[in-house]
């Protein structure tokens, strides 16, 4: 086999493997991550805990804080936050162990469920936003 054919075969196999993972194992990753890391506080339907934990369902905060959300997921957040006109002041722990692609999938799940119809994130966008994260969010 010539070098060009071998390169084409290797690249083709890599692309096929990568694409098949996108449409199989990762298909419901955002939902799975939400259930594992977020649902216990923000509830199954994203409604939050009245007066204590802010909702994610139809939440204006998702649109007005888009650039901060990847950092909030990774680093957590403390201090007062206003969601849909209601103030909340409960610390949210971050999930440092999530990879950039997992944060992307999680945020895209939240942005397209619970009555939300927000623009999806791209991997390069999330990677860039995470690089700019401060050490701790307040």
* CATH number of the domain encompassing residue 114: 1.10.760.10
In a domain, 19, yes or no: no
Partner residues linked to 81 by β-bridges:
88
Going by pLDDT thresholds of 50, 70 and 90, the confidence category of residue 6 is low
* Tally of domains in the chain: 1
Q: Give the DSSP per-residue string, 82-135.
A: EETTEEE---EE--TT--HHHHHHHHHHHHTSTT--PPPP-HHHHHHHHHT--S
pLDDT tens profile 16-36: 555 444 444 667 999 999 999
pLDDT tens profile 75-130: 999 999 999 999 999 999 999 999 999 999 999 999 999 999 999 999 999 999 99
3-class SS of residue 53? strand
In a domain, 101, yes or no: yes
Asked if residues 92 and 130 have their Cβ atoms less than 8 Å apart, the reply is no
pTM for the model stands at 0.79
In a domain, 36, yes or no: yes
Number of residues that make up the chain = 138
In a domain, 114, yes or no: yes
In a domain, 98, yes or no: yes
Strand blocks (E) in 1-138: 76-77, 81-83, 86-88, 92-93
In a domain, 89, yes or no: yes
For residue 119, what are the domain limits?
28-131
Going by pLDDT thresholds of 50, 70 and 90, the confidence category of residue 8 is low
pLDDT at 21: 44
pLDDT tens profile 40-61: 999 999 999 988 999 999 999 9
């Amino acid at each position: 086999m010539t070098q060009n054919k071998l390169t084409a075969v290797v690249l083709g196999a890599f692309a096929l493997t990568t694409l098949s993972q996108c449409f199989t194992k990762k298909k419901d990753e955002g939902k799975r991550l939400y259930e594992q890391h977020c649902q216990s506080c923000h509830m199954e339907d994203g409604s939050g805990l009245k007066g204590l934990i802010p909702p994610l369902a139809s939440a204006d905060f998702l649109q007005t804080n888009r650039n901060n959300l990847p950092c909030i997921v990774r680093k957590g957040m403390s201090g007062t936050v206003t969601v849909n006109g209601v103030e909340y002041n409960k610390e949210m722990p971050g999930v440092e162990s999530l990879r950039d692609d997992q944060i992307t999938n999680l945020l895209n799940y939240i942005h397209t469920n619970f009555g939300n119809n927000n623009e999806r994130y791209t991997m390069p966008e999330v990677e860039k936003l995470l690089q700019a994260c401060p050490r701790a969010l307040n």
